[in-house]
């Protein structure tokens, strides 16, 4: 945070505006209403959510071109070995998949998403409406032990969720995908179905689970689109740094949604999954998953501060900033700027400014009197 403040002045203004937002009751009400809609949506709200994610997927393609995998892959090769393939991790409601199906004729689609009965969102995309080969599996992606290289005999005796772990390969017969979406974020409705050890570590477990699976199955030169939060967070900084070692990264903050949020998508193109750098990163992410999933005894008392300090890159902050700090600031500018402008124009912020102005006017009148 100190590094970014020093090297990018608008970030200082953003931090001040965020801090101000925390003090505004109208902002609390706004985000409380959003949480309520997310947790208990009506059918109309589910359709709106699906439509919004489609808009984000379409905007992603307009601004980066990364969803159009046919032009990226087929014309690079003299022989077409297989249909272009898309893997959508944490798919629901399915807007990104719908965007990919719209752009890529005959694309093959595989998707994994959490069962709505366990707190996942409903899948609104209807496979029967498409001529494409589409398969959707309802699974908790953080429990795919086989993808993490974990054998059943490695699970500690008495593990509270041993029966939930899955060792079979996902979608047998398809080893590589041209485009992989990693769009998952923990849902509050899933918490009652989880063992207590996952309370504070679920976000990181979900992130590394998606990333390991993606790198296990991405085609050489393929593209990954990864949902992230706050580029200035140490965990996010590390993930961006690690991905930059074997791909070309570009943050994307949609204008169709996420405006006032700190969330953004990292688009990683020309991914080299078989490079030594990628293999080292996957080993580190698998080790993180093991620590946060198998060592349950040590996770009950973990604090958020300790989780924020987690070092998954294997390098100290100073070293990461020396190598990647300039890139972090340069690539994240648009993410911070767009959130700054959105917060300035947010209805609750406008109301607060009006109230402040009226208050200042009253005080001025009192002084004058």
175-220 confidence digits (pLDDT tens):
899 999 999 999 999 999 998 888 888 999 999 999 999 999 999 9
Q: How confident is the model at residue 73 (pLDDT cuts 50, 70, 90)?
A: low
Which two structure tokens, joined as six digits, stand for 129?
Answer: 């409406």
The confidence score (pLDDT) of residue 363 equals 46
Instruction: Give the pLDDT mean for 15-29.
Output: 85
The confidence score (pLDDT) of residue 68 equals 93
Region of poorest pLDDT, from 26-40, 124-138, 166-180: 26-40
Instruction: Give the pLDDT mean for 330-359.
Output: 80
- C-alpha 24/C-alpha 29 separation (Å) is 9
The residue count of the chain comes to 369
Which two structure tokens, joined as six digits, stand for 96?
Answer: 């990104």
Instruction: Give the pLDDT mean for 163-171.
Output: 94
Alpha-helical runs (H) found in the chain: 2-7, 9-22, 25-39, 43-64, 69-73, 95-103, 202-217, 234-244, 276-293, 304-308, 317-345, 347-368
Is 286 domain-assigned? yes
Q: Provide the 8-state DSSP code for 315.
A: S
What residues have CB less than 8 Å from 102, skipping those under 6 apart? 58
Q: How confident is the model at residue 369 (pLDDT cuts 50, 70, 90)?
A: very low
Neighbours of 37 (CB within 10 A): 14
Residue that wins the pLDDT comparison between 324 and 80: 324
**Cβ atoms of 227 and 183 closer than 8 Å:** yes
Is the pLDDT at 365 greater than 60? The verdict is: no
- C-alpha 104/C-alpha 88 separation (Å) is 14
The confidence score (pLDDT) of residue 367 equals 43
What residues have CB less than 8 Å from 225, skipping those under 6 apart? 60, 66, 96, 179, 180, 181, 182, 183, 252, 265, 266, 267, 268
Is 358 domain-assigned? no
Is 229 domain-assigned? no
Task: For residue 113, list its beta bridge partners.
Answer: 138
For the chain, the distance separating the N- and C-terminal CA atoms, rounded to the nearest angstrom, is: 46
Could you tell me the pTM of the whole model? 0.90
Number of structural domains found in the chain: 1
Q: How confident is the model at residue 162 (pLDDT cuts 50, 70, 90)?
A: very high
Q: Provide the 8-state DSSP code for 122.
A: P
The confidence score (pLDDT) of residue 208 equals 95
The confidence score (pLDDT) of residue 301 equals 55
Is 187 domain-assigned? yes
Is 293 domain-assigned? yes
- C-alpha 257/C-alpha 339 separation (Å) is 11
Residue that wins the pLDDT comparison between 306 and 293: 293
- C-alpha 221/C-alpha 84 separation (Å) is 13
Cis peptide before 93 (omega within 30 of 0): yes
**Cβ atoms of 180 and 214 closer than 8 Å:** yes
Residue that wins the pLDDT comparison between 131 and 82: 131
- Domain extent, residue 154, equals 49-219+244-345
- C-alpha 367/C-alpha 124 separation (Å) is 60
Instruction: Give the pLDDT mean for 93-118.
Output: 95
The confidence score (pLDDT) of residue 34 equals 79
Mean pLDDT, rounded, of the chain: 88
**In this structure, what CATH number is given to the domain that contains residue 178?**
3.40.50.150
Is 33 domain-assigned? no
Q: Map tokens 């890159």 to a residue.
A: 313
Is 230 domain-assigned? no
Is 336 domain-assigned? yes
Is the pLDDT at 81 greater than 80? The verdict is: no
**Cβ atoms of 130 and 101 closer than 8 Å:** yes
Q: What are the pLDDT digits (tens) for 349-361?
A: 777 666 555 555 5
Is the pLDDT at 72 greater than 80? The verdict is: no
**Cβ atoms of 251 and 332 closer than 8 Å:** yes
The confidence score (pLDDT) of residue 35 equals 83
């Amino acid at each position: 945070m100190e590094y970014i403040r020093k090297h990018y002045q608008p970030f200082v203004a953003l931090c001040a505006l965020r801090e101000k937002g925390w003090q505004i009751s109208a902002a609390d009400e706004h985000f409380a209403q959003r949480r309520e809609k997310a947790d208990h949506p009506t059918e109309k709200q589910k359709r709106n959510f699906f439509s919004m994610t489609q808009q984000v997927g379409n905007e992603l393609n307009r601004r980066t071109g990364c969803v159009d995998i046919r032009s990226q892959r087929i014309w690079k090769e003299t022989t077409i070995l297989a249909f272009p393939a898309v893997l959508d991790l944490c798919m629901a409601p399915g807007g990104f998949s719908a965007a990919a199906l719209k752009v890529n004729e005959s694309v093959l689609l595989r998707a994994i998403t959490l069962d709505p009965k366990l707190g996942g969102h409903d899948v609104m995309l209807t496979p029967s409406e498409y001529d494409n080969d589409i398969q959707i599996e309802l699974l908790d992606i953080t429990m795919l032990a086989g993808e993490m290289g974990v054998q059943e005999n490695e699970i500690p005796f008495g593990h509270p969720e041993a029966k939930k772990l899955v060792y079979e390969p996902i979608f047998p017969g398809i080893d590589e995908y041209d485009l992989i979406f990693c769009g998952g974020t923990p849902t509050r409705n899933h918490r009652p179905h989880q063992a207590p050890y996952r309370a504070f570590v679920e976000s990181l477990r979900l992130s590394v689970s998606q990333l390991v699976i993606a790198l296990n199955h991405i085609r050489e030169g393929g593209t990954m689109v990864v949902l992230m939060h706050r580029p200035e967070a140490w965990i996010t900084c590390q993930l961006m740094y690690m991905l930059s070692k074997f791909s070309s990264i570009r943050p994307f903050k949609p204008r169709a949604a996420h405006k006032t949020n700190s969330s953004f998508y990292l688009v990683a193109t020309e991914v080299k999954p078989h490079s030594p750098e990628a293999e080292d990163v996957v080993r580190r992410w698998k080790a993180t998953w093991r620590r946060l999933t198998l060592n349950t005894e040590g996770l009950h008392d973990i604090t958020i501060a300790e989780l924020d300090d987690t070092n998954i890159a294997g390098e100290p902050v100073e070293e990461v900033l020396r190598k990647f700090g300039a890139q972090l600031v340069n690539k994240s500018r648009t993410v911070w700027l767009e959130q700054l402008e959105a917060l300035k124009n947010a209805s609750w912020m406008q109301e607060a400014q009006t109230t402040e102005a009226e208050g200042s006017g009253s005080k001025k009148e009192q002084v004058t009197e």
